[in-house]
Structure 1
Amino acid sequence: MDERLRVLVVDDSALFRHAISRIIESTPRFKVVATAVNGQEAVAKAAEFRPDLITLDVQMPGMDGLAALTAIMEHSPTRVLMVSSLTTRGARVTIQALCLGALDFVTKSGNQGSQLETQLLAKLDAVMQAGVPGYRRAVPRDRPQRAPTGPPASGLIVIGASTGGPAALDEVLGRLDPGLPAAVLVIQHMPPGFTASLADRLDGSCPLPVREAGPSNQLRMGTVLLAAGGAHLVVTRRGESAVVDGPSRHGVRPSVDVTLESAVRHYGARLITVILTGMGCDGTAGSRQVREAGGRVIAQDEATSTVYGMPAAVTRAGLANLVLPISQIGRAASRMGGEFGGEYQTGGAAARSR
């Protein structure tokens, strides 16, 4: 009996269908059971073959990858790995897909050989560690009303995530209190070219302004900075952060541990760490330093994690003050952050400059 995991490859380019199929078939664990050239065919073959995993092109004529993903997750839910072009539109649609249930993505480039192969082989095993996500209906949202940005933050919240992170961040940031007297740094494992689109997506659902971190940044009350892909985000002094180059940690850049190790030196006990879904153990070493300095750590629970790796490592090390389902984390972080002072009032009164 053939026990290999079954994959459906969807791409309108014959070149990429062949390249992706060849890479998948080169592994002993996976086999390609079908291919599709457009979204309509992908939806039909997902229902017919019930694959363990689908690689799904973002941009296709007719029914595109986003529309196909929505239909697949509603009628034949399975693990989906998006295949995205390195364009602004490709990045924007990829981020939407991740928030609708796709687990991760690989990027197309001019080099369809080794670069694609390296990405794809790394992601195949990672996404198979995840459970099959449920259907997430896209809900139109009005951009929230916001108070003016406050003074320099007296406390800091650092949120780390990897596989499954965009959807989890959408949930957590959407539940933060608008009057939070802390700054928020978000570290999502993601390559260059995609974090600006993720920041824009999160800005549309969070009651606090969200933007991608620049070379240097002020850490002010009630603001959220997302680490840029391909670089580390470090706290350089209380109230300031910077994007820096440096070697990857745990094979990723940005790394949660790098940010936490810099933040704890300047915020100490006034630092809250939130570790969300993701593969590996990034965030554990930094969380240990946070606890030793008197700060607090929240970890996502297993039941709501797409991949219970990063939060599991923190929890099993005994570092989590709280282990919570994703729906409770934003409010819990706001309650903890409310202790940092400023003109904070629970319920949304904003911190104001004196």
Structure 2
Amino acid sequence: MSGSAPGAGRLGSVVVAGGGTAGHVSPLLALADCLRRREPDVRITALGTVEGLEARLVPARGYDLEFVPKVPMPRRPSAALLRLPGSMRRAIQAADDAMSAAEARVVVGFGGYVSTPAYLAARRRGIPIVVHEQNARPGLANKVGARFATHVAVTFPGTPLHGATVTGMPLRREIALLDRKARRAEALAHFGLEAEWPTVLVTGGSLGAQRINEAFQASVDTLRVAGVQVLHVTGVGKDFAVSEGVGLAPYVVVPYADRMELAYAAADIVVARSGANTVCELTAVGLPAAYVPLPIGNGEQRLNARTVVGAGGGLLVEDADLTTGWIEGTLVPLLRDAAGLADMATAAASVGEHGGDELLADLVLDAVSGKS
């Protein structure tokens, strides 16, 4: 997609790279929005993949999107590993072509499949690089990018990237400035929920979470009879039907929620994976949560939730322990303890950060102006 000529302000033209899941796309869009607020004529070009959420969300937000071939990093010897050099060269060239067309002055990467070729193309072109790492334990792409970035930003203190600045997570303003109490009636109406019931928001992120989905699907009747209403965001293609229940608490199933700020405003507690973006959004809006870290990967989800759980703003639930028994024996009684939930909400809010977008934008401006 083509865009207008680079803006005349200090930023000029910015390329942002990241995609695949909401964990990468949401902070990318939050930064883009912040840069546009600062300099309305800034040109922003996003690099992403055809398959990722960015293919839909970035153009819908009003930003140009250029596609870069997806290059997964094989973790063991395979045919994909043999194809890696050629695949990476093609991806780097696609990123390079996009940067040339955009006349990019700075590249900001958020990790994920497209960030490694973006970093390597920017290095080849001599363009300043800013890296933002969302998780407490960095991914491979950002480990690579941080080696030659001019500025490195991290969400959580203690993230092991040399010379990093703690900025927190860039959050969309709809979430960073959310007043849950003021928006609750609107939120309940939006999702077809009712004011008299306590509300659980269940989400496994944009891709869904099988364990969470299965446990709650098996507990629909238990929750409705107990007087607990549920907004269940299953992930695309993973939604299921729930029968009508006259006089019972609603159980609303949606595959994806574009208006997550309204989902948060409707909720009294959230059951979710502890991806970095989820943790940061929930603490920013002061929502208690039961965090269920992904049991595979490098363990970053457990680390992401460590601070808020330590502060008393959330519970940590092992994936194997997220069962119908836990829902009935722990979650339902918690929903009946309004004072306890209020204390958890206060604790969650105490570790929330609202200005990550502005702090990261400061680093981008420093990179453009040559400040270290």
Q: Same fold (TM over 0.5)?
A: no
TM-score (norm. length: structure 1): 0.33
Greater strand share, structure number = 1
Q: TM-score, normalised by structure 2?
A: 0.32
Select the structure with the greater relative contact order (CA < 8 A; seq sep ≥ 6).
2
Larger fraction in helix: 2
